[in-house]
Structure 1
Amino acid sequence: MTWRELYERARAHGDSATGYYNDNIRVDTPDGPVIVRIPIRGADMMDLRPWREDRVLAAISPHVRHAPRVLHVSADPPFQVHEFIAGDVLNDVAPRGVAVPAHVLDDVVRLFAQLAGVPRLPDVPESWPADGDTTAFARRLSALTQRVYDTYSAQYSDLFTALAIPADPLAPVDDLWRGLTARPFTCVHADVHRRNMIVGGGTTTFLDWELALWGDPVYDLAVHLHKMGYLPDEQQALIDRWAPVLAPEHTAGWRRDLPAYLTHERIKSAIVDAVRYSQLFARNGPYPYPEQQLIRTMAAKLNAARRHWGRPDLIDDRTVEAALRAR
């Protein structure tokens, strides 16, 4: 079977694990299963994506033990073939509210330590923040979030009003970015969460490297904590393991800066997922979770951001559901 035939079989398969930027289709071959990753045409760009995933995976392969191998890359038509990782998606084994398997915390910390040993990623854009300029890096993150808000604020004005998303949602982080501690940049995955982790045989493999960046390692920790929704004792255990494993220069000032990044991630999630979830309801799926779970999740995201917007009152599920279904 040629790579093109593999691609055509994946397109005809119709059963994929859909992300926001790629469809992931398992295709069985005589040599075993593989994953065909096909970009979603017209996907809304709501994350920084300056590096091609295959370039990232090639750069990290000598240093990161548990990441998929790229078997083939095609530019026309665009697709990648990755090795198939046997095991269970962590979210299926331990969704939010359920403790993760005991080895997962150690595996995550080991991943972050391995990423700190990856040399500078290839083809760093000329406009990319200088190594160690964490303030410029953080402002690059929030500038994209602001651009997402500006792009959709008119089209989704009724939604933003119904969900009480303010007209200046990024105002709380502007002051927080001032005075961030300078730290050497590392490769950061920037998307380590339960649906991007495969567990099996007492190990964890980390998928979906399309959002990887060259940046602040404290940011990687913040994104992970935000997206994982650990139980409180798990989160503290992870932080307690993370800090001693990385070099002191990579963790300097983390106690002040971690909350700053978490503030941004909560605000970003409220904005980005309000749009994404509304789009899901407008086209009636496909839903990554049951509809009521999506509604509860969206309410939780909004309530996490609202305290940074000076709104201590909570938004309820019914209000969120009405807003998401109104379009």
Structure 2
Amino acid sequence: MNWLDLYEQARASGEAAAGYYNRNVAVRTAEGMVNVRIPLDAADSMDVRLWTEQDVLGCIRPYVSQAPELRHSSSDPCFQVHHFIDGRVLDSFSPRGSAVPPHVIGDVVAVMDQLVRIPQEKAPGLPADWPDSGDVGGFGRRLAKLTQQVYDTHRDVYAEIFEDFGIPAEPLAVLESQWDGLTSRPFAVLHSDLHRKNMIVSGGLTWFLDWELALWGDPLYELGIHFHKMDYPVDQRSEVLRRWREGLPEASTTGPPSDLDLYLAHERIKSAIVDTVRYSKQLVGADRSMRDHLTDRLARKLNAARPVWDAAPDMTRERVAQTLAPWVERQSWTP
């Protein structure tokens, strides 16, 4: 197979599914469909990046049953080719906040269990300064440090917006004293981005995509970021938690509910900052329907974070739109 030809076909295609870091293009070959995955130019880095996705896919292949198979990767030009999974993205028929098909819960817990069973020696290498396994406080501070860096990077441009939204200049300070109180748990490979747009349902099974944010860290963080991004109905959230505690090794699930609450608080803060930046950029050139959709979503994310800072969750779509309007107008103006 001529991989470079596949890459050029994908680059020229007007049909792609794009996240924040990659374009995914389905390309037909003589051997069947494949997914060509191309990094987006100048994507804002808003997440901890530890490994390359191709290294992660190679690591997890003997252990994780429902992840894409890596067919080819190239560093120049930069792209990957994955086997194509023919199915429906979970978000397309079960959007955030709604109940998921029952089998999805079982599949989610199963992939979390498969990941915690990967030995450290089989995972890609770690930086010398990465927290040791079990140093959960160090891991939490690593997450918080990146979130603060995202804030600092955009502080000058978004200063007035952050202030109006009630985002403090040191947004992570409220959590600092709590990291050392976390229970020690052995580290594991984490997907770190298990949400509805990264799941494809096919033939009664859930396939898990987009492994570029995989980490070596606390298994409870996997559950925390999953809960934050899925926004399950209460009964399904409880079901996931119960099955997670019953299905994973006891060492991976030990600890009080406050440990999970701390990770959720971090994700709410991170989302308030990151999505203020991302959504404001998406508002430039958006039509009325998309503007309403984005400002409503951002209001909800801000309201989820504000109690962490002891502020009332009183942001409205109208207030968000009013605050962002001058910034959006400046970006839309061309001389």
The alignment's TM-score, normalised by the length of structure 1, stands at 0.96
Alignment map for 1:256-271 (pairs within 5 Å)? 256-271=258-273
Q: Which moved more, 1:120-129 or 1:79-88?
A: 120-129
Is the CA contact (8 Å cut-off) linking 2:304 and 2:313 kept in structure 1? no
Corresponding residue of 1:109: 109
CA apart distance, 1:169: 1.2
Q: How far apart are 1:313 and its partner, in Å? A: 4.1
CA contact (8 A) 1:18 1:24 kept: yes
For the Cα contact (< 8 Å) 1:64–1:111, is it kept in 2?
Answer: yes
- Deviations along 1:47-90, one digit per CA (max 9) or x if unpaired, are 01110001001100100010001100001000001111111000
**For 2:171 and 2:311, how far apart are their aligned partners in 1?**
12
1:122-172 per-residue CA deviation (whole Å, 9 max, x = no partner) reads 211111111110000000000000000011011111221232212221122
Are residues 1:74 and 2:93 paired? Answer: no
Q: Extract unaligned runs of 5+ from structure 2.
A: 328-335
Deviation at 1:254, TM superposition (A): 4.5
Please state how far the C-alpha of 1:293 moved relative to its aligned partner.
2.3
Q: TM-score of the superposition, structure 2-length normalised?
A: 0.94
1:149 aligns with 2:146: no
Shift of residue 41 of structure 1?
A: 1.6
Residue in 1 that maps onto 2:22: 22
Aligned to 1:39: 39
Shift of 1:323: 2.6
After superposing on structure 2, the runs of 4+ consecutive aligned residues of structure 1 that deviate more than 3 Å are none
Map of 1:52-91 to 2, 5 A cutoff? 52-91=52-91
- 1:284-299 mapped onto 2 (5 Å cutoff): 284=285, 290-299=290-299
Residue aligned with 2:213, SS? coil
**Residue 167 (structure 1) aligns with:** 169
- Larger helix proportion, structure 1 or 2? 2
Question: Offset of 1:285 from its aligned partner?
Answer: 5.8
One-letter amino acid of the counterpart of residue 164, structure 1: G
Q: Select between 161-170 and 112-121 the one with higher mean Cα deviation.
A: 161-170
How far the C-alpha of 1:291 sits from its partner, in A, is 3.5
Cα 1:151–1:88, aligned 2, differ >3 Å: closer, same or farther? same
Give the secondary structure class of the aligned counterpart of 2:309. coil
Question: After superposition, what is the alpha-carbon deviation per residue over 1:98-131, rounded to whole angstroms, capped at 9, x for unaligned?
Answer: 2111101111011111001112222111111111
Cα separation, 2, equivalents of 1:217 and 1:286: 40
Check whether the contact 2:134–2:185 (CA below 8 A) recurs between aligned residues.
yes
Q: Does 1:186 align with 2:188?
A: yes
Question: C-alpha separation between the residues in 2 aligned to 1:164 and 1:317?
Answer: 15
Contact kept? 1:135, 1:179, Cα under 8 Å:
yes
Counterpart CA distance in 1 for 2:269 and 2:64 is 31
**Is the contact between residue 16 and residue 26 of structure 2 (CA under 8 Å) also seen in structure 1?**
yes
State the Cα RMSD in Å: 1.6
105-114 vs 248-257, which moves further: 248-257
User: Alpha-carbon deviation of 1:34?
Assistant: 0.9
Name the CA distance, whole Å, in 1 between partners of 2:43 and 2:287.
14
- The letter for the 1-side match of 2:323 is A
- What is the aligned partner in structure 2 of residue 306 from structure 1? 306
Q: Is the 8 A contact 1:21 1:39 kept in 2?
A: yes
Q: Is the aligned partner of 1:240 residue 2:242? A: yes
Q: State the match for 2:332 in structure 1.
A: none
Q: What amino acid sits opposite 2:61 in the alignment?
A: S
